[in-house]
Structure 1
Amino acid sequence: MYSNGRNKAHSGQGHFAGNVVAFLILFVCFAGGIYALSFWSLDNAWLPGISCFVLVMIALMVPQHVLGRGDTHVHADGE
């Protein structure tokens, strides 16, 4: 992809701290979802199941749909 006649790098250069922070937050969400399954029993299935589903969905969908789509937006001038 080109911007102002120059090739844009999409390798995450200069975003190391932000990438690490996002990874840590989303990894904690994923690990929390897995940990919620340790409270699962036949008497208590709804709360751990729903919390696991929500936390893992956040951990997998936020990077895929929110963080990964920042460079695919079509601008008004057609770029």
Structure 2
Amino acid sequence: MAGTKAKQPTHSGEGHLVKNLVTFVVFFGLFLASIYSLNWLTLDVVWPMVVCLVVGTLVYLIPFMMGRSDSTTELAEGKSHNE
């Protein structure tokens, strides 16, 4: 296929450095806050564990869902999400 000028699709997340950094900093901060809440965990006070589990789950799932915005059919056809 010499001489063809087919454009390769860009990688997911390419060109979104600032958005990726802001997302990382915000959600990593929330993750650290959920771990910090465990300082108040005792057998009588269970809310820190609830906070840690809920926030930890959200910190994992929200960025995971944010990264799924590209549809598979467009990427399979070779179309870039920037087009």
Same fold (TM over 0.5): yes
Tell me how far 1:21 sits from its aligned partner: 0.3
Tell me how far 1:73 sits from its aligned partner: 5.3
Q: Answer with 1 or 2: which has the greater Rg.
A: 2
Q: In structure 2, what is the Cα distance between the partners aligned to 1:67 and 1:59?
A: 11
Structure 1 stretches (4+) deviating beyond 6 angstroms?
none
* 1:34 alignment partner in structure 2: 35
Q: Which is strand-richer, 1 or 2?
A: 1
Scaled by the length of structure 2, the TM-score of the pair is 0.72
Percent of aligned pairs with the same amino acid: 33
Q: Is the 8 A contact 1:29 1:58 kept in 2?
A: no
Scaled by the length of structure 1, the TM-score of the pair is 0.75
Structure 2 counterparts to residues 1-79 of structure 1, below 5 A: 6-45=7-46, 47-64=47-64, 66-72=65-71, 74=73
Task: Structure 1: state its 5+ residue gaps.
Answer: none
Alignment partner of 1:53: what SS? helix
RMSD of aligned alpha carbons: 2.0
Larger RCO (CA under 8 A, 6+ residues apart): 2
Q: Is the 8 A contact 1:29 1:55 kept in 2?
A: yes
